[in-house]
Amino acid sequence: MGTCKNELLVNLVDQQLDHYDWIIVGGGLVGASIAYGLIQKKPHLRILVLDGEDTDHRASVGNFGLIWVQGKGFDFPAYAKWSLKGADLWPNFANQLSQTSHIDIAYERRGGLEFALNQRHLKALSEEMAAMSHHTQGDFQYTVLDRNAALDMQPGLGESVAGAIYSPQDGQVNPLYLLAALHKANQLLGVKYQPRCVVKRIEVLAQGFDADGFVAKKIVLCAGLDNERLGKQLGMHLPVNPVKGQMLITQRATPGTLKYASPQMRQTGDGTIQIGGSHEHSGLDDRSSLDVMQTIAQEAVAVLPELAQLQLVRSWGALRVMSPDGAPIYQRSQNHKGAFGVCCHSGVTLAAAHAGPLSSWLLDDPNEDYKLLIEAMNNDRFTV
Amino acid sequence: MTDSLFSCLIENPLQCTVVVNNVEHQVPAQLSVAGALLYLGHRQVRQHSVSGEARAPFCHMGVCFECLVTINKGQQQRACLQQVMPNMRIDTVTKELTQ
């Protein structure tokens, strides 16, 4: 028996029900999306989500909230197709999730702009977009905007903006409401949830798995940065590293101050402007720092000078869950049938894909096209 | 502006002249700008930028940003973190609700 099971204060899990069909290790966006997908497809399944401590590193409560296609997988065709399909599945997913959970997750798909601060950057971005369009047989849509065309879409741009890429396929959502909606929907649909349960040891049984005393036929590791440690216990190589992003939030501004989302900034449904886009390799240190806050604020003001008039109300740092090439890892354990690992940094963009085709793949019932895509993102690519 | 819900507990406070939305007022000199606005009977200092709801000083400790006003024509700032100064110009960000 593991420590979690002995905690009397947690009564959310039916202690009588010792055997589950599925254990999902991790209750962030990835784990919650997969649990949601599984229970929707097979409502009779007994599913248990084991979540960590509130103080654990949680990319799902620190992220930016973009459903972003531009540039994803420009050097990895399967990831490019997967990101685009994931974004295309989002409207139905958002609709259904809002109806089930009665939570408005502030989803919108008005498109996104990535700004270039010089011609060289604009050219590099254009080449990435062309590669993505090629990988997706033209399904990925984008426009390269010169400075004047960019100004037509976003008035008030700074002098240094050379142009932008626009894609109508990008969108945004409130990531905190998304996570809350998934958990609420899962609870309503009968998924069991165990908080404050950092899984220490997973044992392989004759038929199934024992995660610190919780037993299930199948298990999916969705534990973010902890996947590497847990994967080893099931014979899976799941290489992930933390990449810190820092974020700033301004006071509420007039809606439409930012017309479109971008990787550096977006205006939330509440009017605040979220500024981010930094990348730091600083281990598990997720603190914000003045120099990086200044840099991202300066970059945002370079794009849109009027932002300098706004007061900042909050800042934080969070750790991305990054594989060596930045693309997701979808892994089926070769040694232990029924064990899977899912590592990804795009828990928002891919939430609909995880609830949809990935869950079907886990249930061994995938559409063949998706099966090929998903299995192209296994960890063979990291084998030397 | 309406009748104030607040009164000053200090006896015979030092007075300070401030100009709120172009009107001169005398307020106790120890007050924060947020305190002065409440003392003068302001029940709204701004509107929520999305919903348009009326907003007023809430936490009085710099956290909630509900009391943003313009002081001496500068950037918007938190009224709760500034003490009133003689002849300070305070502009609430939106017009008062009709009484």
The type of residue at A283 is G
For residue B93, the model assigns a pLDDT of 78
Please indicate whether, in this complex, the C-beta atoms of A311 and B48 are within 8 angstroms of each other.
Answer: no
Please indicate whether, in this complex, the C-beta atoms of B75 and A311 are within 8 angstroms of each other.
Answer: yes
Q: How many whole angstroms separate alpha carbon B82 and alpha carbon B72?
A: 12
Report domain extents, chain B: 15-92
Beta bridge partners of A246: A317
- Going by their DSSP bridges, the two strands B88-92 and B15-20 should be labelled as parallel
Where residue A303 falls (left for φ over 0; alpha for ψ -120 to 50; beta otherwise) is alpha
SS3 B1: coil
CATH topology of domain A3-7+16-62+176-240+326-382: FAD/NAD(P)-binding domain (3.50.50)
Q: Is a pLDDT exceeding 90 seen at residue B95?
A: no
Q: How many whole angstroms separate alpha carbon A317 and alpha carbon A81?
A: 30
Please indicate whether, in this complex, the C-beta atoms of A255 and B50 are within 8 angstroms of each other.
Answer: yes
Query: What count of Cα atoms within 13 Å lies in the side-chain half-sphere of residue A138?
Result: 0
Q: Is a pLDDT exceeding 90 seen at residue A6?
A: no
Complete DSSP assignment for A322-336: E-TTSS-EEEE-SSS
What is the tens place of the pLDDT at every residue in A234-248? 999 999 999 999 999
From chain A, the residues in CB contact with B49 under 8 A are 252-255, 271
For residue B85, the model assigns a pLDDT of 97
Q: Does A121 touch chain B (CB under 8 A)?
A: no
Asked if A194 and A51 touch (Cβ cutoff 8 Å), the reply is: yes
Residue A90: which of A106, A103, A77 has the closest Cα?
A: A106
The beta-carbon neighbor of A255 closest among B49, B75, B77 is: B49
What is the tens place of the pLDDT at every residue in A267-283? 999 999 999 989 999 99
Q: Is a pLDDT exceeding 70 seen at residue A36?
A: yes
For residue B99, the model assigns a pLDDT of 33
Structurally, what CATH architecture does the domain formed by A246-322 represent?
2-Layer Sandwich (3.30)
Q: What is the CATH number of domain B15-92?
A: 3.10.20.30
Q: Given pLDDT bands bounded at 50, 70 and 90, which one contains residue A5?
A: low
Percent of chain A with pLDDT over 70: 95
Q: How many whole angstroms separate alpha carbon B93 and alpha carbon A181?
A: 35
Mutation target among B49, B53, B63 for the A interface, most CBs of A within 10 A = B49
For residue A176, the model assigns a pLDDT of 95
Give B22→chain A minimum CA distance, Å: 22
Residue of B nearest to A256 (CA): B50
Give A110→chain B minimum CA distance, Å: 18
Complete DSSP assignment for A7-29: -TT--SS-TT--EEEEEEE--SH
Report domain extents, chain A: 3-7+16-62+176-240+326-382, 112-168, 246-322
For residue A10, the model assigns a pLDDT of 45
For residue A258, the model assigns a pLDDT of 96
Give A136→chain B minimum CA distance, Å: 38
Give A303→chain B minimum CA distance, Å: 20
Asked if B29 and B16 touch (Cβ cutoff 8 Å), the reply is: yes
For residue A208, the model assigns a pLDDT of 94
Q: Given pLDDT bands bounded at 50, 70 and 90, which one contains residue A17?
A: very low
Supply the mean pLDDT for chain B.
Answer: 91
What is the tens place of the pLDDT at every residue in B52-90? 999 999 999 999 999 999 999 988 999 999 999 999 999
- Going by their DSSP bridges, the two strands A143-146 and A214-221 should be labelled as unpaired
- Going by their DSSP bridges, the two strands A329-332 and A265-267 should be labelled as unpaired
Q: Is a pLDDT exceeding 80 seen at residue A4?
A: no
SS3 A361: helix
Q: How many whole angstroms separate alpha carbon A277 and alpha carbon A291?
A: 14
Q: Is a pLDDT exceeding 50 seen at residue A135?
A: yes
What is the tens place of the pLDDT at every residue in A338-354? 999 999 999 999 999 99
Supply the mean pLDDT for chain A.
Answer: 93
Q: Does A256 touch chain B (CB under 8 A)?
A: no
